[in-house]
Amino acid sequence: MAACSARPTIRRCGLCPGARAGQAGLWENLLTRFVRLREQATRLKSETWQAIDAEIKEHPAPKDSDSKALSRLILGKWESPRHDYLYRADGTWTMLPADPDTTHGTWRIDGNQYSDTAATDPPQTSQYTIILISRRDFVFADQEDVFYEVRIK
C-alpha cells in the first residue's frame, strides 16, 4: 500500500502523514471524518461506502509509526460489525463473550503493520496495514478490504 497517492482529497490539503511536522492531529481528524461518513453510508445503505473505503486505503498510518503507542491504544474492548473483541496488554485477543471455546489468539503491531494469529489448528496469521487507531476507532486494511472497529465503553 502506498504511503500516499496523488489523489486530490487529502494530498492537496497537505495533511498526509509526514507532509509537514505538527499535522498528525489534522490528518487523524480528517480520517476520522471519513470513518464517520463511511458509517453514515452504511446506515443509509448507500453505495458510497465503497468509494470511501478506496480513499481511506490510500492513506495508511506512517510506516514508522510508534508501535508501542499504537499498541497501548488498541488495548481494551472493540466492536466490529460482526463480533466484539478484547485486546490485552500481553499480546492476546479474544472474541467476546469470552468462554473456553471462544475464538482467540495473539496480536502484534510493528510500525503501521498489525498482525493477528488465530489459535486454530493450524494457526492462521493475517497481516494488515493500519489506517487509524484512536481512542474511538481502529481502522485497518488488507489487500482487498477495510475493517472498522469502534471502542466499547
Q: What are the residue ranges of helices labelled H in 44-107? A: 48-57, 67-74
Q: What is the mean pLDDT of residues 88-105?
A: 94
Q: What is the mean pLDDT of residues 19-48?
A: 82
Residue 23 has what pLDDT? 58
Q: Is the pLDDT of residue 57 over 70?
A: yes
pTM for this predicted structure? 0.82
Q: What confidence tens digit (pLDDT) does each residue in 64-88 have? A: 999 999 999 999 999 999 999 999 9
Q: Is the pLDDT of residue 12 over 50?
A: no
How is residue 81 written as a grid cell?
460489525
Look-up of cell digits 446506515: 43
Q: Are 127 and 143 in contact (CB under 8 A)?
A: no
- Half-sphere exposure of residue 29, counting CA atoms within 13 Å on the CB side? 7
- The residues facing 44 across adjacent strands are none
How far apart CA 38 and CA 149 sit, in angstroms, is 12
Q: Are 60 and 5 in contact (CB under 8 A)?
A: no
Amino acid at 70: L
